[in-house]
Amino acid sequence: MFYELYIRSFCDGNGDGIGDLVGAEQKLDYLAGLGIEGIWLLPILQSPAYHGYSVTDFFSINPIYGNLKELRSFLASAHRRDLKVILDLPINHTSPSHEWFLRALDGERPYRDWYLFLQNEDWLKARRHWDGEKVWTNYSGQWAYTLFGPGSPDLNYESTSLWQQMKEVLTFWLSVGFDGFRFDAAKHIFDFSIEKGICEYQHSRNIAFWKEMTSHCRSISPDSIFVSEVWDDARIVDLYSAIFGIGFNFPLAEDLKSAIAKKDPELLVISLKTDLNRCFRAKRSYESGLFLTNHDMSRLVSSMNGDRELSLLSMSVLLSLPGVPFFYYGEELGMEGVYNMYFNEEQLEPFLWYENGYGPGQTEWKALGKNHPHSGVSYEAQEAVDDSYYMRFRAILEFRKSNPWLRFATIKSVKRKETLIMLKVTGESKSANILHNLGTKKIAVDLNADVQVINGTVSKYRNKRYLGALSSAMEVTE
């Protein structure tokens, strides 16, 4: 299991109100106590943007987060706790303030070749794939390709010297101590056709690029971990994920949340059969990156319209499935936040350590719009209450931690009986039946004595066992 960590909002180690590496290191025992095995660190490279995805120096840490010595200390401390750490590395584009881009505007080589500048006036007609927005930006009379907006001019990997430069970037961060990378916008390396003058994904060229980059990393660190962000249909996701080893399962995240929010068991069955089709095979070319939310999505409780029982059921279903689970910081508290593409700060709010909103380590870099002090959502308010959202969420994580065989399990069948979903799964060491009740009433189930409650309740009455409303359980069969 991986914990997606937005360091700015997590823990402040120097008292300036902004989360940093020193603060994050102080909370590693907390993270290890959740049962996670890895940390996905959102961008920490030097950048003018709060999100860090527009880089000004690929070899430097944003000074508000700390320095190289503090990063090495954080990584070493994580490794002592058997935690892997992967860096979110956005190499598709840079900030317009990056020295490379400034020198490119001056016409200096090779930097001029590292960005795509307008060569044909007809190219200005090109529009972005998903929303029809313009993709060219005028910088003092020079038009550059900017798929993700004026603050992010795209790098031009038509230049072979840029490939070598990026290998040096990867080498550097592996040498610092990272265990691998989450690669942002993996399908966008080649997404503009110079021949046609339109936005067009060139998947074969992208895959050739990533094969070379991942092979380079593995030549340095054979056990490197790679996770790809490819938001597309299953066929395209398969192509990329086979190269990286882990691919985020975006369709499953959306379909699973929709099915649970609607309490629709048939929709959930369809989702599992469709989005996890490869998990019905014993041999798989990659692992499914299981998640429900991330920094580009509304938080889980908000997705469930504030219903925390449905949120916990969603996590129960997710963590019963084959693959590598990822969950977003603060979801264990039931934090809320609605994603807005043009103002995406609400789901990035400070992790609330204290009920009054203040105390050692509490970040205060932005106002709390959703997760207010004295609302009961804080870690302080929940960690000592047995049936709090946090404690129940943590129990679901403990279930997954105690059943590592599920990661590589094969789904043998998915069936439905009224509101009950039944999965039969088999791993190398054991097999099990996993049950999820999407109904609002308890339901009689055929379970033996060897039952693990994932979430909710399992009760017994007159020699019959009942799975509670919105509850999940697993019966080990062999």
Question: Active-site residues: which are they?
Answer: 184, 229
3-state secondary structure of 140: coil
HSE (side-chain half, CA atoms, 13 Å) at 445: 31
CA 395 to chain centre: 21
Spacing of C-alpha 451 from chain mean position: 31
Rounded CA-CA distance 353/335 in Å is 12
Spatial CA neighbour of 407 closest among 276, 280, 319: 319
As to burial, measured by CB atoms within 10 angstroms (0-12 exposed, 13-18 middle, 19+ buried), residue 192 is buried
What span, in angstroms and rounded, lies between the C-alpha atoms of 292 and 311? 10
Give the Cβ contact number of residue 431 at 10 Å: 16
The distance of Cα 89 from the centroid of its chain, to the nearest Å, equals 13
Compute the distance between CA of residue 80 and CA of residue 416 in angstroms, rounded to an integer: 44
CA dihedral 416, 417, 418, 420 (to 10 degrees): -70
Are the CB atoms for 445 and 467 separated by under 8 Å? yes
- The string of DSSP codes covering 171-222 is HHHHHHT--EEEETTGGGSS-EETTTTEE---HHHHHHHHHHHHHHHHHH-T
Q: What is the torsion angle, in degrees rounded to the nearest 10, for the CA atoms of residue 293, residue 297, residue 301 and residue 307?
A: -110
Question: What are the counts of helices (DSSP H) followed by strands (DSSP E) for the chain?
Answer: 13, 22
**3-class secondary-structure state, position 336:** coil
Which H helix or E strand runs over 33?
helix 28-33
Identify whether the C-beta of residue 263 lies closer than 8 Å to the C-beta of residue 283.
Answer: no
- Following CA atoms 286, 321, 337, 255 in sequence, which dihedral angle do they give, to the nearest 10 degrees? 80
Any idea which residue has 């000074």 for tokens?
63
Strands 443-445 and 464-467: antiparallel
